[in-house]
Amino acid sequence: MTDDNVSREYTEEQLFALFEQWSIQYRPQPNEENEDEYHLPVEVSDILETTPTNQLKENFKKFKRGLRQYRHDEWTTGEEINKQFIQKLKKHPMDTMQVVNTIYKHSENTRTMARAATEMFEQLQYVQTTMPTINTVELAKILSECQEAAKRLAIHGWASARYQDNQAVKAIKVPYNVSLEYNKEEGTKRQAFSKEFVKEYNEVSHQNSLSRAAVSRQQGPDTRHGFRPRNRGGFQTYGRPFLRGRGRGRQGYTPPFDLTPYWPTQHWFPMARTAEGLKLEETEYLNESTRRSTRKTYDAAWKKWTSWYEQQEPKINPTNYQVITMLKFLMEHKEFSSQTLNGLRSAITSVWKVLYPSEIPLAKQDIIRSFFEAKRQQKIKIPTQQELMTWDTNVLWKSIKEKWLNTDILEIYELQKKALILITLATMARPGSDIGRLQKRDVLFEEQNEQVIGVTIHFRKPKENQVKSIRLGTIVDKNICPVRTLFVFIKRSEELRSGLEESHTLWLAYINQPKK
């Protein structure tokens, strides 16, 4: 039996041997199944397994705040996308598999950096526990390895961040003929692209879209596989001069280009004007003479016109100025309403007046005027019951009070509906062209003693083509006051508008689905 209290004497060699044996347990131990793998240190795994997720997130925030800040224009500055591209990215189609794989790829990259940090932790822990006996040579070697590993980890981290920034901007399809230029603006974060790049991107993208529209179907639709593409913009090349009409349609005259719109869209229109010597900015400005909704109507009408032309024999270029053919087209669609027929006539006229400015407009051609006069004479319109009735607005006021009485407690989606109905009632503006297109920047509140006393609303794009303005004051009942309800709605929706353009509408389409 031995007495543990009895002191023992060891030689210097025995002490070093015992200390070496004791310190082995602090060295990284290889995995028995794979000698190239090491067990995660207990000090690290215990914290990961026992700390609640919310606490871990809070610890991460404190850890990041406690890190030293470094400065280098190229590598340390974070990046964010330019506001001009936000709406484009929201419409960008997402490949879910690609998104998932990208996230996994980034998480694996983070694990790589964690492995490097864990290795340095184990080396420094070994130095700390063996400090009384470790020799100078071994200590210098370990510290040198830690320093080199830390340098590699820093380089890997900064370079990976830049690589991920570059991957992010790839979602925006940069035209090949635009030189990629990053923004160098100072601040907590830099925008992904410089102002010069954004301007060049917009110009080149517009030009490329026109070029693609012009050349994608120069040979007409692809019928090699037994089908004809539908609902796509395209062109058919006739490659011969127009042979009919006077002025620019006379014998031997070739228009600025020989591409004929094959389907509905008229994106080739600026190309015609550009070919006549106008600059891109000038053609875009001239295009604004027609309202956007009208251009959409013209696109649909042009599709119907070209589709009808495809069924005619022999085939003729639909851009040729031919009044008789136009009358035949209208006669075959005379069952349509006068409004629809007039839209078809206007759409075709919008093209012909550019190609043949010296010709008499269709609306002034005698046979076309006679057709529409006959259409009006033969159609008798009996007013509907709805058109004859006068609606009592008190019924709607009562319904608003019953459904949305307290403005302050309404959810944002219901609050928007209440504000929309109240403003429509108060202004008697058109629900579509006026209320629907109302922009947030055109709603100007008046305040007195920190209280809202009125609002001025400008309808920027009414059907009358002139800005319409109206001023509303507050009423006693705050729960049905249009001014106060609109003010509360705008204040509550400020966060949702943070990434929207200045010209965005007052009303938000996906207000009940913020992720969209």
Residue 387 resides in a domain: no
Residue 415 resides in a domain: yes
> Residue 340 burial (CB < 10 Å; 0-12/13-18/19+)?
middle
How far from the centroid of its chain's Cα atoms is residue 107's Cα?
Answer: 26
pLDDT by residue for the chain (516 residues), tens digit each?
Answer: 445 444 556 565 655 555 555 444 445 555 555 555 677 777 777 777 887 878 877 877 777 777 667 677 666 666 777 766 666 666 666 667 777 777 777 777 777 777 778 878 877 888 777 777 777 878 788 888 887 777 777 776 777 776 777 766 666 655 544 454 555 444 456 665 676 766 666 666 666 555 554 444 443 444 333 434 444 333 333 333 333 333 333 344 344 433 334 334 454 455 555 555 666 677 667 767 777 778 788 888 888 888 888 888 877 778 888 899 999 999 999 989 888 999 899 888 888 887 888 888 888 999 999 999 999 888 777 888 877 877 788 888 888 988 998 998 999 999 999 999 999 999 988 888 889 889 999 999 999 988 999 999 999 878 776 788 999 999 998 889 999 999 999 999 988 888 888 889 999 988 877 665
What's residue 221's pLDDT? 43
Helical spans, DSSP H, in 130-240: 136-169, 195-215
* Residue 83 shares a structural domain with residue 53: yes
187 phi-psi bin (left φ>0, alpha ψ -120 to 50, beta other): left
* Residue 400 shares a structural domain with residue 365: no
d(CA 130, CA 393) in angstroms, rounded, equals 88
Angle at 143 between CA 137 and CA 148, to 5 degrees: 125
| Identity of the amino acid at 201 | Y
Residue 301 resides in a domain: yes
* Residue 161 shares a structural domain with residue 270: no
What's residue 252's pLDDT? 41
Among 103, 118, 108, which Cα is nearest to 153's?
A: 118
Among 402, 240, 209, which Cα is nearest to 315's?
A: 240
Last residue of a domain, one of 343, 378, 413: 378
End-to-end C-alpha distance for the chain, whole angstroms: 79
* Residue 256 shares a structural domain with residue 303: yes
Residue 165 resides in a domain: yes
Strands 78-80 and 189-191: parallel
* Residue 240 shares a structural domain with residue 331: yes
Structure tokens at 100: 């998932």
* Residue 373 shares a structural domain with residue 444: no
Strands 78-80 and 259-261: unpaired
- Say if residues 484 and 452 touch (Cβ distance below 8 Å): yes
* Residue 266 shares a structural domain with residue 406: no
d(CA 467, CA 485) in angstroms, rounded, equals 24
DSSP for 454-475, please give it.
EEEEEESS-TTSS-EEEEEE--
What's residue 299's pLDDT? 84
| Identity of the amino acid at 451 | Q
Residue 322 resides in a domain: yes
What's residue 482's pLDDT? 94
Among 223, 207, 331, 328, which Cα is nearest to 271's?
A: 207
* Residue 318 shares a structural domain with residue 239: yes
What Rg, from alpha-carbon coordinates, does the chain have? 37
- Say if residues 244 and 321 touch (Cβ distance below 8 Å): yes
Q: Is the dihedral of CA 264, 267, 270, 274 positive or negative?
A: negative
3-state secondary structure of 225: coil
Residue matched to tokens 């075709």: 348
Residue 383 resides in a domain: no
Domain of residue 334 covers 216-221+230-378
Contacts of residue 5, defined as CB under 8 A and 6 or more positions apart, other chains included, come to: none
* Residue 252 shares a structural domain with residue 328: yes
Residue 147 resides in a domain: yes
What's residue 41's pLDDT? 76
- Say if residues 422 and 404 touch (Cβ distance below 8 Å): no
Residue 249 resides in a domain: yes
d(CA 311, CA 283) in angstroms, rounded, equals 33
Residue matched to tokens 């100078």: 136
State if pTM tops 0.85: no
* Residue 332 shares a structural domain with residue 276: yes
What's residue 80's pLDDT? 73
What's residue 178's pLDDT? 47
Phi first, then psi, for residue 119 (nearest 5°) are -60, -45
| Identity of the amino acid at 295 | R
Residue matched to tokens 């793998």: 37
The structural domain count of the chain equals 3
* Residue 349 shares a structural domain with residue 453: no
* Residue 269 shares a structural domain with residue 315: yes
